[in-house]
Amino acid sequence: MDVEKNTEFRVSMLASGSSGNCTYIETPKRKILVDCGLSGKKIQELMQKIDRNPADVDSILITHEHRDHVHGLGVLARKYGMDIYANEATWKALPPSVGAIKVEQKHIFEMGEVLTLGDVDILSYGVSHDAAAPQFYSFQFEGKQFVMLTDTGYVSNRLRGLLKNADVYLIESNHDLELLRMGRYPWSLKQRILGDKGHLSNDDGAAAVAEMVGNNTKRIYLGHLSRDNNMKQIARDTAGTILTTKGLGVNRDFHLYDTDPTEPTELFHI
């Protein structure tokens, strides 16, 4: 009897936004989290909503040391003992609040390398952000690809070329330029967000992903929305307009999706 090959590759943005980030990726052989920027308890609750459990997670990949990416890391690592991957500079820069992580759980995954975990290939690439050595990840399984790109003030041409034609993108859509300019943030913080090492605006995120989408692209998730300087509707409208203006088939060839700081996106079968 033929056993049908299991080709299930699934993702859920458990939480995305300035208040905390955590993404879940699963293949037949691996269950992976990228970042743990909420409390361990909160991440457990978010995983329950998609019928999954942190006890089953094999590995956690960290993008950079900011609190909205590592807040619950220590608690989960100590409770469940999974393997943790980050580059060396990020390991050194982790805030003391993360606490002790056993040396046998710590693994180095440097920028530009490809790491194979079970049946999934993971590529790391550097981004332009005010952290020690921020890097994001792309996951490949059975010819399908999921690309993550947030926490960057700028997307280089090299990266636009490297990340072309993925099935699913999580792209940063941090702020609406007008809301940020008019908002209550002090000038220095506005400069930080707007700078090359800050965060992508709705416009810049859409312009970057417009150069990456291809025939394989099915979904674009807009991520890391600022609570103070953005709204889902504005982010989606801006991205929709920019992608359509560039002649791309929004709502025809691919669809735009929101992410939320407290609600996971459905566990999508890529």
Query: Segment contacting Zn ion (CB under 5 A): 63-71, 153-161, 168-176, 249-257?
Result: 63-71
Query: Segment contacting Zn ion (CB under 5 A): 59-67, 111-119, 166-174, 176-184?
Result: 59-67
Question: How many residues contact Zn ion, by CB under 5 A?
Answer: 3
For Zn ion, which is the closer residue by CB, 128 or 244?
128
* Residue found by looking up tokens 């805030």 in the block: 95
For Zn ion, which is the closer residue by CB, 12 or 174?
174
Q: Figure out which of the listed residues 26, 65, 151, 204 binds Zn ion, where binding follows CB under 5 A.
A: 151
SS3 172: strand
What are 180's two structure tokens?
A: 């940020």
* Pairing assessment for the beta strands 10-15 and 268-269 based on DSSP bridges: antiparallel
Site string for Zn ion, 75-114 (x = CB under 5 A): ----------------------------------------
Residue whose beta carbon is closest to Zn ion? 66
Q: Figure out which of the listed residues 26, 35, 68, 176 binds Zn ion, where binding follows CB under 5 A.
A: 68
Distance of CA 125 to the CA centre of its chain: 12
* Residue found by looking up tokens 């691996």 in the block: 30
Query: Should residue 71 be labelled a site residue for Zn ion when binding is judged by CB under 5 A?
Result: no
Query: Segment contacting Zn ion (CB under 5 A): 7-15, 25-33, 38-46, 145-153?
Result: 145-153
SS3 88: helix
Query: Segment contacting Zn ion (CB under 5 A): 66-74, 156-164, 228-236, 251-259?
Result: 66-74
Show Cβ contacts of residue 173 under 8 Å, excluding neighbours closer than 6 positions. Answer: 200, 201, 202, 205, 206, 222, 223, 224, 225, 230, 235, 238, 239
Instruction: Give me the least distance between CB of 195 and Zn ion, in Å please.
Output: 13
Instruction: Give me the least distance between CB of 192 and Zn ion, in Å please.
Output: 11
Query: Should residue 65 be labelled a site residue for Zn ion when binding is judged by CB under 5 A?
Result: no
Rg (C-alpha) for the chain, rounded Å, is 18
Instruction: Give me the least distance between CB of 71 and Zn ion, in Å please.
Output: 11
* Pairing assessment for the beta strands 144-149 and 168-172 based on DSSP bridges: parallel
Instruction: Give me the least distance between CB of 178 and Zn ion, in Å please.
Output: 22
What are 45's two structure tokens?
A: 């609750």
The strand order across the sheet containing 219-223 reads 114-117, 120-126, 135-141, 144-149, 168-172, 219-223, 255-258
Q: DSSP for 8-64?
A: --EEEEEE-STT--EEEEE-SS-EEEE---S-HHHHHHHHHHTT--GGG--EEE---
Query: Segment contacting Zn ion (CB under 5 A): 75-83, 106-114, 147-155, 165-173?
Result: 147-155
Instruction: Give me the least distance between CB of 67 and Zn ion, in Å please.
Output: 9
Query: Should residue 66 be labelled a site residue for Zn ion when binding is judged by CB under 5 A?
Result: yes
Residues lying near Zn ion in the complex (CB under 5 A) are found at 66, 68, 151
